[in-house]
Structure 1
Amino acid sequence: MPALALIFNAFVWGLSWFPFRHIEGHGLHPVWTTCLIYLAIATVVGLLRRGAWAGFAAHPMLVLLGLAAGFTNVGFNWAVTQGDVVRVVLLFYLMPLWSVLLGWAVLGERPTGGSLARVALALAGVAVVLKTPGTDWPVPSSLPDWLGVAAGFGFAVTNIVLRQLRAAPGESRALAMFCGCAVVAGTAALAGTALGAFAPPTTASPGWIGWAALLGFGFVIANVCLQYGAARLAASATAVIMLSEVLFASVSSVALGAATMNSRILAGGALIVAAAVWSSFARTPAASEDRAPSTPLRTSP
C-alpha cells in the first residue's frame, strides 16, 4: 500500500500537465491557475488546522520554505503547460547538481567523489537532451526549458530548507508550502497581468472551474498519499518510486502529442534518471530522517 500510494502521487503529477493545458484553453494562465488552486487549499487547511499557524512563530524559516515551494510550483506548472513535457520533466530532475552545490554552500557538506560523479552524469544527460541538431551549445533554448531548470533548483532549495526545519511540526511545514505557492503564484500572476503578459482571470470562460477543482482535489489526495507512503518506506525507496513520474509524464505527453520522443531524449533521460536514482541511495542520514514531509507539494524526489 505505501508503494501504491507513492505511485498514485507520481501519477497525479505526471499527468498534471493535461488539466493545466485544458484550463489554459479556457483562457486562464497556468500561473493564475496555480494561485487560485493553492489559495483555496491553503484557506481550507488553515481553517481546519488552525494550530499549524503557531509553528510560524517558533520557526520563522517556514516563510523561506513557502517561498521556495511556491517558486518550484510556479516554474513547473508554467513550464509543462507551455513546452515539451518530457524535456521539462527531465530538466526538472537535474537535482543532483543543485543538491550538491546547495549542500556545500548552505550546509557545509563538501562534495565527495561520488557526488561529483553524479553531477557529471546528470550534466551529461542534460547536454544530450538539449543538444538538438540546430543548436551549437547544449543550453536551454526556450522559456519552458529555463522554467524547468529553475523549478528543479527551487525544489532543491525546498529540500535543503526542510532539512533545517526537521523540528517544525509537519502540518506547519505543509501549510507554509501551500501558502507559499498561493503567494508566489499570486504575485507573479498580478505582475504578469499588470505588464500585459497574462490575461486577467475575469476574461476566462467558466469551463476552467471544473478542471481546476479536479486538479486541486488530485493535489490534495496526492499529498495525503505521499505522506502515507513516504512515512512507511525508506527514503531511497521513496525517491526511486517517485521517479515513475517521468514515465507517466513521458507516456501520456507523447501519446497525446504534447512531447516528442527520440533516441537522443531517451539516452539523455536515462543518464539523468540514473543520476537521480544513484543520488537517492546516497542520501545522508539527516536527509533520511526528514523523508516523510520532504516533498508534500511538488512531490518529486
Structure 2
Amino acid sequence: MTLRPPSSPSPVLPALSLTFNAFVWGVSWWPFRQFQAQGLHPLWTTALIYTLAVLLIAAAQPRALIHMLRTPVLWVLVLASGSTNAAFNWGVAIGDVVRVVLLFYLMPLWALLLARVLLRERLDAAAGLRMVLALSGAAVVLWPQQGGLPLPRNLAEVLGVVGGFCFAVNNVMLRREAHQPAAARGLAMFLGGAVVAGTLAALLTTAGAVAPPALPTPAWGLAAVAFSLCFIASNLALQYGASRLPANVTAVVMLSELLFASVSTFALGAGEFSARLLAGGALIVSAVVLAARRPGKPAH
C-alpha cells in the first residue's frame, strides 16, 4: 500500500467566498438607488452603513481600533479605501452601472503606475501590453458617437475612473502594509468609507448640492443595518478567500463582479448594452486577466 501525501485544502470554499464578495459589490447599486429614492443620497448612505460597520467591528475587535489609531500609515488606507467607496457607490447609484463598473476596472492600469512609483516595481513588455489594452478599452467605451476626445462625459463616469484609481492605491497600500494585523486593516477600510463619504456628504449638503438626509423610518433603518452586515460579510469573505488562493486566481474570480453587475443591470433596466461597450469591456477584461496570469502567492 502506498502512502499518499496529505491533500491540500479544497479551493472551492475560498472561490465561493470571493464570488460572494463580487456578488455583493456587483448588485450593490440597486440598494443604493432604493435608499436614494427614499431621500438618502448615496454618500449619506455610504457614511451610514460604514459607520454601523465600524461600530460593530470596533466592539468585536477593540485592539484593532487601538492599533489603527497608533499607526499613522494606516490612515493612508483610510483615505484610499474611503475615496474608493464614496466614488464607486455614488457612481453606480446615478449612472450607467456597466459603464461605471468597466471604468472602475481600469484599476490594473493605475496599479502598474503606482507600483512603479511606490513599490519600485519594474515595468516590462507584458506590463506595457496591459497598459495598452486597458487604455484602448477605456477609449472604446468613452468614445463619443458625435466625435471628440474619449473622456468621461458625466459625473458617474468620472467617479468610475476616480474610484478605480483610488482602489489601485488601496491595493498597493494593502500589499505594502501586509504585515499589519488584518483586523486593523479591515477597520481602516470601513472607517474610510464612513469618514470620506460623510465628509463629502456634509460639504455638499452645506453647499446646497446634496439634499439633507431624510430621517429613516424604522423599516429603512433595519434595511441599513442589514446592508451594513452584508458589506461586513463580503469583506470577511474577501479576506478569507484572498488569503487562501493565489493572487492571480483571486483577480480572475473577482471579475465575476462584472457579470453580476451586467446581469442585474440588464434584468432591472438600469443600463444600455452596445457593441462598442462590449468591445471596450473585452479589452479592459483582457488587461485584468493578463495581469492575473502573473505567478502569484496567496494574499495576506
Same fold, TM-score > 0.5, yes or no: yes
Greater shift, 42-51 or 199-208, is seen at 199-208
Residue 210 (structure 1) shift:
4.0
- Residue 59 of structure 2: aligned partner: 47
2:155 paired with 1:116: no
Work out whether residues 94 and 272 of structure 1, in 8 Å CA contact, stay in contact via their aligned partners in 2: yes
Paired position in structure 1 for 2:148: 136
C-alpha distance after superposition, 1:225-261 (max 9, x if no partner): 1122122211111110010000000111122111111
Question: Percent same amino acid among aligned pairs?
Answer: 50
State the 1:57 CA deviation.
Answer: 5.6
Report the Cα distance in structure 2 between the residues aligned to 1:154 and 1:255, rounded to whole angstroms.
29
Residue 204 (structure 1) shift: 5.8
**Structure 1 residue 3: Cα displacement:** 1.1
User: Aligned residue for 1:16?
Assistant: 28
What is the alpha-carbon distance in structure 2 between the residues aligned to residue 281 and residue 35 of structure 1?
A: 36
Alignment deviations for residues 59-115 of structure 1 (CA, whole Å, 9 cap, x no partner) = 320011111000000000000000000000000000121011111122222311110
**SS class of match (1:167):** coil
Give 5+ residue unaligned stretches, structure 1.
293-301
Asked if the contact 2:52–2:225 (Cα under 8 Å) also holds between the matched residues in 1, the reply is no
Q: CA RMSD in A?
A: 1.6
Q: Does 1:242 align with 2:242?
A: no
Q: Distance in 1 between matches of 2:202 and 2:249?
A: 40
For residue 136 of structure 1, give the secondary structure of its aligned residue in structure 2. coil
Which letter maps to 1:5?
Answer: S
Change (3 A) 1:207 1:54: closer
Residues 22 and 208 of structure 1 are in contact (CA less than 8 Å); yes or no, is this contact kept in structure 2? no
Read off the aligned partner of 1:166 and give its amino acid letter. Answer: A
More displaced stretch, 200-209 vs 106-115: 200-209
Q: State whether residues 133 and 283 of structure 2, in contact with CA within 8 Å, keep that contact through their aligned partners in structure 1.
A: yes
SS at match of 2:269: coil
Corresponding position of 1:71:
83
Contact conserved, 2:39 with 2:214, CA < 8 A, in 1? no
SS of 1:202 mapped into structure 2? coil
Q: Which residue of 2 aligns with 1:34?
A: 46
1:186 maps to 2:195: no
Which segment drifts farther, 54-63 or 123-132?
54-63
Aligned position for 1:256:
268
Describe the shift of the 1:167–1:202 C-alpha distance in structure 2 as closer, same or farther (beyond 3 A). same
- In structure 2, what is the equivalent of residue 201 of structure 1? 213
TM-score scaled by length of structure 2: 0.92
Pick from 74, 81, 106 the counterpart of residue 62 of structure 1. Answer: 74
Structure 2: runs of 5+ lacking an equivalent: 1-12
**Native 8 Å contact 1:11 1:245 kept in 2:** yes
Give the TM-score normalised by the residue count of structure 1: 0.91
Q: Distance in 1 between matches of 2:261 and 2:129?
A: 27
What secondary structure is seen at the aligned counterpart in 2 of 1:248?
helix
Q: Whose Rg is larger?
A: 2
- Matches of 2:34 and 2:114 in 1, distance apart? 36
Whether contact under 8 Å (1:19, 1:211) holds in the other structure is: no
Q: Distance in 1 between matches of 2:220 and 2:237?
A: 26
Distance 1:166 1:144 in 2: 32
Q: Look up the match of 1:297.
A: none
> 1:280 and 1:46, CA in 2 relative to 1: closer, same or farther beyond 3 A?
same
CA distance in 1, matches of 2:208, 2:285: 38
TM-fit CA distance, 1:203: 5.6
Shift of 1:224: 1.8
Partner residue of 2:232 out of 220, 223, 227? 220
2:167 corresponds to which of 151, 155, 170: 155
Amino acid at match of 1:56: M
How far has the Cα of 1:8 moved from its partner?
1.1
CA distance in 1, matches of 2:66, 2:219: 38
**Amino acid in the other structure paired with 1:21:** R
Q: 8 Å contact 2:131–2:287 — kept in the other structure?
A: yes
Q: Which runs of 4+ in 1 moved over 6 A?
A: none
The answer on whether the counterparts of 1:55 and 1:168 sit within 8 Å (CA) in structure 2 is: no
Question: Helix, strand or coil: the match of 1:138?
Answer: coil
With 174-183 and 65-74 compared, the bigger mean Cα shift is at: 174-183
Contact 1:8–1:222 (Cα < 8 Å) also in 2: yes
